[in-house]
């Protein structure tokens, strides 16, 4: 745990616990919200068959990104999650989104 705290620049176990809680809540919430979002967009398993799951996973991704920063903000960890988000998106090739 000390290595993870050092790599993420975290000083206390409490902050690390809060960050783990935010990751857990965000993952569960984005998976839970993907069902109504698919319904709202008219994406059904009956129409798409085996393509439904990959499409649903693609929908979860942007939902997860937004929720991660929002839930991190609610838990007082906006600075950490905003930096985490920028780093992850830059690694995925979305550098153009962040002009620094």
**pLDDT tens for residues 24-77?**
999 999 989 888 888 888 888 787 788 888 888 888 888 899 999 999 999 999
The pLDDT assigned to 93 comes to 81
- Number of structural domains in the chain: 1
CB atoms within 10 A of CB 35: 11
The pLDDT assigned to 41 comes to 83
Could you give the CA distance from residue 77 to residue 70 in angstroms, rounded to a whole number? 9
Domain that holds residue 9: 2-97
The pLDDT assigned to 100 comes to 57
Could you give the CA distance from residue 10 to residue 49 in angstroms, rounded to a whole number? 44
The pLDDT assigned to 35 comes to 84
Instruction: With a cut of 80, say whether residue 84 has pLDDT above it.
Output: yes
């Amino acid at each position: 745990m000390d290595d993870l705290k050092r790599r993420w620049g975290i000083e206390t176990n409490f902050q690390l616990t809060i960050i783990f809680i935010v990751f857990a809540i965000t993952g569960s919430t984005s998976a839970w919200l993907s069902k109504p979002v698919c319904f709202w967009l008219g994406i059904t398993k009956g129409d798409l068959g085996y393509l439904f799951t990959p499409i649903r996973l693609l929908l979860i991704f942007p939902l997860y990104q937004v929720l991660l920063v929002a839930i991190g903000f609610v838990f007082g960890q906006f600075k950490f999650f905003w930096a985490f988000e920028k780093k992850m998106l830059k690694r995925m090739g979305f550098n153009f989104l962040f002009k620094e």
